[in-house]
A and B are shown apart, each in its own frame.
Chain A
Amino acid sequence: MSASTFSVPAAESVEVPLGSVERELGRRLKGAYGPGDAPVHRARMSNLIVYCTDDVRAAEVESLIPEIVKIHPARVLLLVADEHLKEADVKASILVRQAGHGTRLCSEQITLRAGGHAAKHLPFAVRGLLIGDLPTNVWWANSTPPPLAGPLLDDLAENAQQVIYDSLGWTDPHRGVSAASTWLKRFERSDADGRWRVASDLNWRRLKFWRRILSQEFAPAINPGALDSVTEITIEHGPHAVTLAWQLAGWFASRLGWRIQETKFKQGLEIAFQISAPHGSLRLVINRLPEGPSDIRHVRIACSIAGKPGALNFTSEDDAKLSVQPEGLDVAPRTVNIKPTSTADIVGKQLSDRDPDPVFRDAMVAAHVLAQAVLR
């Protein structure tokens, strides 16, 4: 075996007794290099606990892990709590992968499966497998919104610094968004003992580019007074992207000090709000498109630029481009490149981004108010 390469004996999961996980991992890593070779390094910046509730979702997540650990090397603890499984115990399996960007680096994954009532043992099984002195992240990878997850999530997140969830595809987005704001307030913490914990929604990260381009376009240095002249904002989103639209609306509302005056609601199609803003009143419309990608597709903002009334249209052309088209304004039309981001990419980046985000929290509070207006 050459000094610069190594190979993992078999890149597949091997079932091991729960109590032997560390020993077996060590043995597999040792078997990855020959006598006289330099040892293989385990690359890990964090513990990443991923929680799924069925095998299909677990398989989806597992396919993302190589890419995630390339961006943020971590010890991955994949927990599968499948009520259809008959096993009453927690079953463990291990997998060692060669990291993509280092010839002598590898990442490790421990999968714990539990059926029925055994699921409640998972938080206990996990505690013994966390690497001390490293940050711990929990990725809540199922469609139940964290506020409705019950005590299991609290147990899993007991020693975590970050819980990552994804509101894309929540089955009842209005209730989910509404509950999330209260849950965030309870769940996030920062106490005098230095214990802190944040919660991060991958959808908020997906909105990063939209927030950035909108804030650039409406910067007073670029288009003075434009924000104070907004009369209507229309947000169009694809199926399953309702929460994205709520968050974008919540972001506008929290940043610009909006108050709801009136709500009109067409089930599954359109929600329209009459808003009172510091500069006057405006209309906010959220439209659900019948088909297309689960993303924000188009934002139209009616406003005045240089004293001329018109509108700016921001349209997602594909996953790598966004066009800016004016209507009746002296603004140059153009397209802007967007770096396409996969779920693995945003999870990987979110793992390194653990700062509390007050803008997110404020946006969720505002989104909660908007959602409540619809639920009433």
Chain B
Amino acid sequence: MATPTPEPVNLLSPGAGSALLPQPCVLVIFGGAGDLSWRKLLPAVYNLNIDGVLPSNFAVIGFGMGAVGDPDEWFRDRARDGIERFSRQPLDEKHWADYSRSLFYVEGSFSDLRAYEKLKAKLEAVDAQFGTPGARVYYLSIPPQLVQPAVEQLKSAGLVNDPGEKRAFTRVIVEKPIGRDLESAKQVNASVAHAFAESQTYRIDHYLGKETVQNLMVLRFANSIFEPLWNQKYIDHVQITVAEEEGLAQYDPITGETTASRVGYYEGVGALRDMVQNHMLQVLCLTAMEPPYSLSADVVRDGKVGVLRCLRPFSQSDLENSVVRAQYIDGEVQGHTVPNYRHEVIDFNSKHNLPIPPSITTETFVAMRVHIDNWRWAGVPFYLRTGKRLPKRASEIAIQFKAVPNILFNQNPDVPLEPTVLSIRVQPEEGLSLRLATKLPGPKVRIFPVKMEFNYSSLFGGESPEAYERLMLDVMAGDATLFMRRDAVEAAWEFVMPVLEHWEQSRSRFLPQYQAGTWGPLEADRLIEADHRTWRTL
């Protein structure tokens, strides 16, 4: 039996300035003309370039349709526009001249083999120009139905190298949503697996690139006070909230005209698929996982999958009583009147000559009670809540500790002490706070809750890098810790499928509503109040 050749060691790399040493490569953005590329990816790469952390041999190729005139120039103009509007750091002409020279575009359809031949030729030319050693990162910023043709064509065109290839590596980034149910997620995963090994596949969830989310493990496992309390003995319940102020359409505040709309993506998808199945369950996993024995990618990801496997499946009764969906109706957000979701769908479809669906039952709000059936979390409910057109944009994980006994300071049943709450804010202001009871100054013993705050931007200054910046660097460095593994994606779908199926069966029946600008429907309040608890006001 042949002994595998050991990987050559880079004698100079220890202490070279960063644990993450991104490798020279070409980043190919499928859907390079799209919204994500314009708003997030190209500005993220630009920021990495300004910060001097990109590999010295690096270039970007946009791939897709929509270029006007010279494709490279068109793509550069598009990148410049995105950077001017959305970049964390302002566009610097001195950097731009260099950066723009490394941007290229290949026009073509994802299902057309000739387009891949063009892409291959461009990649070879870029390799020669930039000294990139044939290494590729393919970022699939495309709808799920296009993933299969794209990866098949990549493979057919000979654009996917062996997973053992270290120098001319090939990696693929797959954007959410990965499928629209368990079946289609399996299909997407299988299609990707047909061309790429799991070690080459990076399923991105940008929430996992946020500082606070990464800080969750540090908070839990680098502070000795938390981990001993992090269990059913001391924690009463956990609330995970992702609240969005925006609806599916955005309006000019003066003219009232629609300026942007995500209805095309969202209608038929809904909050459960868009938020709960991926972001929220991933955050839940990090909150509830057992301490991993190392920080290597697969050990951490095993820990997260362990939580998903312990989620108690929804029974028929749970589906009725532990899950609430709703849709927003007319209301007011930040002093502006906003229309209902139905109106936004009808408006969008009319403008795009699409048929108006007979019933519009996509949920824009979900609340649920989830249980993790293991020793650590037995009997501790996790309440998940997400919605659009809520009063403000705020995401947090709140750990509410059990109340102290009803003796000493907690004797008055009419005015119980506020429980201790550790709140970890993911956005907009990343940070954490701890609510404690304290004595008000004075001769009487009067207890008052105070909040100890830690705010990332106040303490550390400046702006944290965008999640996409961190995650793209990780891919270039070959670190998959913050990416979802195939089994985790499928386990998460497995968990939410009964809810989707239940809603499918009862879709035309009762769909609760909530007024835009409120914290959701009454049914959500009833869900948590049934347990003698309340939603936190954010």
Contacts and interface: CB of A to CB of B under 8 A. Distances in A.
A218 B94 contact: no
A144 B131 CA distance: 45
Given A45-B459, A222-B57, 15 more contacts: A43-B458, A43-B459, A70-B462, A73-B461, A101-B461, A216-B16, A216-B55, A218-B10, A221-B133, A222-B24, A255-B14, A332-B129, A335-B98, A336-B56, A337-B95
Contact of B10 (A45, A100, A219, A357): A219
B15 A221 contact: no
Interface residues of A, number: 45
Interface of B: 8-18, 21, 23-24, 49-52, 54-57, 94-95, 98-99, 128-131, 133, 166-167, 455, 457-462
Given A73-B459, A216-B24, A337 B13 contact: no
Nearest to B92: A320
A212 B51 CA distance: 13
Contact of B18 (A212, A324, A358): A212
Given A320-B94, A334-B57, A337-B50, A227 B458 contact: no
Nearest to A331: B131
B91 to A, nearest CB: 13
Interface in A345-368: 357-360
Nearest to B131: A332
Contacts of A218: 10, 12
Contacts of B21: 212, 215-216
B461 A71 contact: yes
A195 interface: no
Given A102-B457, A332-B130, A215 B16 contact: yes
A213 B131 CA distance: 14
A256 interface: yes
Nearest to A210: B17
A73 B459 CA distance: 7
A334 B10 contact: no
A321 interface: yes
A73 B461 CA distance: 8
B462 A220 contact: no
B447 to A, nearest CB: 20
A213 B57 CA distance: 10
A352 to B, nearest CB: 8
Given A43-B459, A218-B10, A332-B57, A211 B133 contact: no
A337 B462 CA distance: 20
Nearest to B167: A221
B457 A219 contact: no
A80 B56 CA distance: 43
Contact of B11 (A216, A227, A337): A227
A208 interface: yes
Contacts of B95: 320, 337
A254 to B, nearest CB: 10
Contacts of A328: none
Contact of A217 (B9, B56, B99): B56
Interface in A103-150: 105
A183 interface: no
A220 B459 CA distance: 40
A216 B56 contact: yes
Kindly list the 3 A-B residue pairs having the minimum CB-CB distance in the complex, ordered from nearest.
A359-B15, A332-B131, A220-B8
A238 to B, nearest CB: 20
A215 B10 contact: yes
B89 to A, nearest CB: 10
B220 to A, nearest CB: 21
A186 interface: no
B11 A101 contact: no
Nearest to B55: A216
